[in-house]
Each structure stands twice: as structure tokens, then as C-alpha cells.
């Protein structure tokens, strides 16, 4: 069984930061094999993890469609086999985590057949891992276009504002309009004051989401971003790493299932 964790939120709320640090927490605690899927077109999860990125699934799709239009598609190979080979070629393999970047969204042409093939391929690859972490693009509308996998745990990240929390509530509502099933949704606030002002407490309650943690302001995050150092290299005792560890512990009934099984069998 593969456990799928997705992180969503409007742009600039800290989705990629949370995703990268959750992944690093899983690596440090040896939960199991991990696939990171960067579903944000900006494709910067690799930088947060300190991994290279040579190509994306979107690049593969566009290149294959260009070849079909030009009549230069490789003879003797089915489109499914070609896409399968190319996707496996752009999978970044590293110690503790592998990475697959989805890349740019669809252009103006017809992509239905190609996207269906790619979803099958991505799901097959993901099924070989204990954990799949998805750094989603802003909003929730396109999650089901990336993968048909059910999501075991969805973190919705918001900034500490009533407007941001209203957007988080809308994302929760959008989940029910998707083909993808989400078994649990929780809320994380980024850089929120402690304690929360009464207005924010009310806005949190109105989302209908459980607030499972707050990511504090951490000067090391800005420092690492400025020099291009991967956030996954933040020390375990940094404020934000400690907050992410507490968030992970709060969801241990889902996140630690594989780790617990592995230890009991070892």
C-alpha cells in the first residue's frame, strides 16, 4: 500500500517549504521509500530538496505531440511505450527520495490521450513507493489531472490572514468536486503569530479544517533561500524543522503506518 500525501494552498503560502521539510522528516526517520511529485509548474521542489532537474513530464508530452504532428515519431514504438520510457528517464533518483516533476500545464491543443497515458504511467511508478508526496500547484482544480491516486492526507497551507483562510476554505470545498478521493484534510498556517488573534481564530474555525500546526518565522529559511541552499538541509533543531516534526507527529496514524510496519517486520 502506498500512502499519498499532498500539499496545496494559494501561491506564496509555503507549500514547497512544507513539502520539502516533511520529506526530509520522512527520510531522517526512515519511514520508507519516497517519491516526490512536483505538480507545480514553477518546478522548484528540486531546489528545496537539493536535487537536479533535467526534464519534466510536461516537456515529454509537448515533445511527443510535436513529433506526432511533424510525422517524426519513432517508428515501431507505441506512444504508451515511448512515454513510459521518457518518463522513467526524467525520474531523478537520489538517496532517500526520488523526484518526478510534472512541469508546464497543457497548451492550446488537444492533450486528452497523452494526459491519460501519462497519468497511468505516473500512477504505476508511484505504486512502487511506500510514500508519495505531491507539491500541488496553487488551488486544487488540477490535482486529479496529475494522478488518479487517492490522497490519504492533504495539507492545506495558508498565510495568517482572513483572505488566505477564505481561500483555504474554498480549496476544501473544491476537493468534493474532484475525481480524486481525499481521506483527510488538515490546515497548516505559515508565519502566524502566537497566540492567534481572535479574528484569525474565527476564520480558522470557519474553514471547517483542523489546524494541526503553525510554521514559525525562521531566519534561516530566508538565509538559505538567499544563497540557494536547499531547505532540506536546515538543521533539525531549527524552529521550522521542529514545527514540521510536531505536525508529522500529529498525523502519525497515517504518516507512520509504513514505518511501523517496516519495524515490526524487521
Tell me what pLDDT residue 140 has: 58
**pLDDT band at 264, cuts 50/70/90?**
very low
The mean pLDDT of the chain is 88
Compute the average pLDDT of residues 5-34.
94
Domains of the chain as residue ranges with CATH: 3-265 (3.40.50.300)
Q: Are 47 and 99 in contact, with CB atoms under 8 Å apart? A: no
pLDDT digits (tens, 9 = 90+) for 201-251: 999 999 999 999 999 999 999 999 999 999 999 999 999 999 999 999 999
| Beta-bridge partner residues of 255 | none
What the block records as the C-alpha cell of 57 is 513530464
Tell me the C-alpha distance between 123 and 148, whole Å.
Answer: 7
Looking only at the bridges linking them, the beta strands covering 153-158 and 185-190 are parallel
**Selection from 162, 250, 160, 251 nearest residue 206 by Cα:** 162
Whether the CB-CB separation of 131 and 257 falls below 8 Å is answered with no
Residue pair 159/165 in contact by the 8 Å Cβ criterion = no
Mean of pLDDT values over 150-161: 94
Taking CA atoms, 125 is separated from 24, 91, 99, 132, in Å, by 21, 10, 11, 10
Give Cα separations from 260 to 27, 54, 89, 134 (angstroms): 14, 35, 32, 22
pLDDT of 187-205, one tens digit each?
999 998 888 899 999 999 9
Note the pTM of the prediction, 2 decimals: 0.90
Residue with cell 494552498: 9
Cα 118 to Cα 37: distance, rounded to the nearest angstrom? 13
User: φ and ψ at 134, to 5 degrees?
Assistant: -115, 115
Does the structure show a pLDDT above 50 at 263?
Answer: no
Share of the chain above pLDDT 70, in %: 88
- Per DSSP bridges, beta strands 92-93 and 98-101 are antiparallel
Give me the sign of the Cα torsion angle 166, 168, 169, 174: positive
CA atoms within 13 A on the CB side of 62: 12
Q: What is the mean pLDDT of residues 89-111?
A: 82
What cell was used for 207? Answer: 474553514
Tell me what pLDDT residue 214 has: 95
The CA-based dihedral angle spanning residues 219, 225, 231, 234, taken in that order and rounded to the nearest 10 degrees: -40
For 63-78, write each residue's pLDDT tens digit. 888 888 888 888 888 8
Amino acid at each position: 500500500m502506498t500512502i499519498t500525501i499532498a500539499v496545496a494552498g494559494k501561491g506564496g503560502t509555503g507549500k514547497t517549504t512544507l513539502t520539502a521539510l516533511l520529506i526530509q522528516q520522512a527520510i531522517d526517520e526512515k519511514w520508507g521509500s519516497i517519491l516526490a511529485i512536483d505538480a507545480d509548474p514553477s518546478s522548484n521542489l528540486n531546489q528545496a530538496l537539493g536535487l537536479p532537474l533535467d526534464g519534466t513530464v510536461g516537456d515529454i508530452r509537448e515533445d511527443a505531440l510535436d513529433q506526432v504532428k511533424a510525422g517524426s515519431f519513432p517508428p515501431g514504438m507505441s506512444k504508451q511505450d515511448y512515454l513510459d520510457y521518457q518518463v522513467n528517464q526524467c525520474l531523478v533518483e537520489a538517496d532517500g527520495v526520488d523526484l518526478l516533476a510534472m512541469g508546464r500545464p497543457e497548451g492550446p491543443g488537444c492533450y486528452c490521450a497523452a494526459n491519460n497515458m501519462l497519468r497511468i504511467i505516473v500512477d504505476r511508478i508511484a505504486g512502487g513507493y511506500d510514500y508519495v508526496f505531491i507539491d500541488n500547484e496553487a488551488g486544487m482544480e488540477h490535482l486529479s489531472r496529475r494522478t488518479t491516486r487517492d490522497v490519504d492526507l492533504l495539507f492545506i497551507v495558508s498565510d495568517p490572514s482572513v483572505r488566505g483562510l477564505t481561500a483555504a476554505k474554498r480549496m476544501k470545498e473544491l476537493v468534493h468536486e474532484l475525481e480524486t478521493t481525499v481521506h483527510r484534510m488538515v490546515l497548516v498556517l505559515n508565519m502566524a503569530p502566537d497566540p492567534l488573534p481572535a479574528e484569525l481564530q474565527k476564520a480558522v474555525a470557519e474553514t471547517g479544517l483542523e489546524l494541526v500546526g503553525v510554521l514559525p518565522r525562521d531566519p534561516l529559511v530566508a538565509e538559505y533561500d538567499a544563497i540557494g541552499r536547499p531547505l532540506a538541509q536546515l538543521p533539525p533543531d531549527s524552529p521550522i524543522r521542529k514545527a514540521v516534526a510536531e505536525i508529522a507527529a500529529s498525523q502519525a496514524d497515517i504518516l507512520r503506518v509504513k514505518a511501523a510496519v517496516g519495524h515490526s517486520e524487521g
